[in-house]
Structure 1
Amino acid sequence: MPARWHKEDEEAPAKSGAFSREGRDRPLAHLVLWPHRSLPRRGFAGFILATFALLCLPLLAVLGSIVLWGLLPFLMGTLALLWYFLERSYRDAQLREDLRLWHDRIELVRTDPRGRRQEWSANPYWVDVELHRAGGPVPNYITLRGGGRQVELGAFLSPEERETLYRELLAELARVKR
């Protein structure tokens, strides 16, 4: 699953005192989510090269004739479109969701590929995590409700990954609420 949990062990702060939050600036749990990348950059270069070679193969039969110049723009246009859409897929995959949990706050920051940030925060004690098996935009749709709003989490993950994330999130929220 394209997700990574960073968890802090609970321990007494070095300077203890009533109402002191010193040393508690770091969250107890931090989840980072990103879309799955099935084709790494190195594979991208190999795929484009192999596609170019396979597109050039039929051109060998018409080498030296006027038909070559009729087919060449369409074949190279196909390769250019393939390149463009794969690059766009890489750019869209720069989406990132950061979920941070403290005893008194839960915070979700979603950064889209253009760098725009959407933020949500609430008290974890009052946050409801829901898994919508049907009826959402995607199967096993996860929402967090609290702070007067409802937000989605991990809509770009597969249904199985969202179900696993749901169980992990419930466990972490239970740990933080103690």
Structure 2
Amino acid sequence: MPYRWTPDPTLARESHATPAGKPLCRLDLWPHRSLPSKGFSAAIWVMFVGGMIPLIPFIGTVAFWVLLAFIMVVLAALWTALRRSDRDLLREALVITPQQIDLTHWSAKGAQFTWEANPYWVRLTLHRDAKIENYLTLKGSGDHNKREVELGAFLSPEERKKLHGELARILAQMRGAA
């Protein structure tokens, strides 16, 4: 699953014993990656070997070199596309403390956007009938924070639904401890 809680979200039950500025938990979200390192290496080798097999009958001819050039261009394009998906900086971090929730979103190019609200007043909504299935949003309350922000837009609908349940449970525990 492309998100991770640190420390365990069940620690939110003990929010009354946590110092004011210390995070109860942190949620890191990231999009699915194309391949892990071993998968990347295997894909490149499979493409290379698969591309070289049809060249065997052309060894020693001009056609061999022309076809080899095309195969190398395709291999380079595959390499570039797979590595680019690993370099994207798209991610989100949600830090929950007893007094504040901070959401930081980094775009694919690295631009940073932040949102903060009091956890007691945060409204978590799972929009089931939106254009995007199981669209997950957070909305704060107060004069400075009336905008609604999306959370985990790059997650699958099932992952957003599961995340909604986990986050709703944490917010309910915090409200009960306050």
Report the TM-score, using the length of structure 1 for normalisation. Answer: 0.85
Partner deviation per Cα, 1:66-89 (whole Å, 9 max, x = no partner): 211222222111111000100111
Letter in 2 for 1:124: P
Identity %: 46
The structure where helix makes up a greater share of residues is: 2
Give the superposed CA RMSD: 1.8
1:163 corresponds to: 161
1:47 corresponds to: 43
1:172 corresponds to: 170
What is the distance in 1 between the residues matched to 2:25 and 2:173?
A: 10
Letter in 2 for 1:49: W
For structure 1, list consecutive stretches of 5 or more residues without a partner in the other structure.
14-22
When structure 1 is superposed on structure 2, of 27-36 and 43-52 the one drifting more is 27-36
Shift of 1:38: 5.2
Report the TM-score, using the length of structure 2 for normalisation. Answer: 0.85
Letter in 2 for 1:126: W
Shift of 1:113: 4.2
What is the distance in 1 between the residues matched to 2:67 and 2:163?
A: 49
Higher relative contact order (Cα pairs below 8 Å, separated by 6+ residues): 2
What is the distance in 2 between the residues matched to 1:85 and 1:32?
A: 25
1:24-173 correspondence runs (5 A): 24-37=20-33, 39-92=35-88, 94-136=89-131, 138-146=132-140, 147-173=145-171
Letter in 1 for 2:168: L
Q: Per the alignment, in what secondary structure is the counterpart of residue 108 of structure 1?
A: strand
When structure 1 is superposed on structure 2, of 25-34 and 50-59 the one drifting more is 25-34
Number of residue pairs matched by the alignment: 167
For structure 2, list consecutive stretches of 5 or more residues without a partner in the other structure.
none
What is the distance in 2 between the residues matched to 1:101 and 1:53?
A: 50
What is the distance in 1 between the residues matched to 2:51 and 2:171?
A: 53
Letter in 2 for 1:106: I
